[in-house]
Amino acid sequence: MLGEKPKYPISVYGNLQNLKKRLLKLKGAFAWVIEIKERLNFEVLGQILIDKYYFPMEYPDIRVKGYGILCEEKDEIIEAVFKHHAVQIFKV
């Protein structure tokens, strides 16, 4: 079962409380957890590692397909570290 497919990315649904309520209702859903930053840097790596640790505990009914960073600027050295941690990089 793929679960409910949101019409829009969850981040556009409003404030943090509404987001948490929505996420708790998505039983059986598959999701990508994505951080959006202008530049690829070590700060965003820390954020996504925290996401990888806490998201499955807070939302056990949502199966995470992957973790990623959406950014405008990449960095080859940092990119290797992201790859090591199985974090996808999406450049726009």
On whether the CB atoms of residues 21 and 55 are closer than 8 A, the answer is no
Number of domains in the chain: 1
pLDDT at 68: 93
Residue 23 lies in a domain: yes
pLDDT at 7: 54
pLDDT along the chain (92 residues), means of 10: 51 61 75 89 90 89 90 89 93 88
Q: Which residues of 54-83 are buried (b: 16+ CB within 10 A; e: fewer)?
A: ebeeebeebeeeebbbbbeeeeeebeeebe
Domain range for 63 is 10-91
What's the chain's Rg over C-alpha atoms?
Answer: 14
Q: At what angle do helices 76-84 and 42-58 cross, to 10 degrees?
A: 20
Residue 5 lies in a domain: no
Residue 77 lies in a domain: yes
Residue 30 lies in a domain: yes
Residue 33 lies in a domain: yes
Q: Which residue type, as a one-letter code, is found at position 39?
A: R
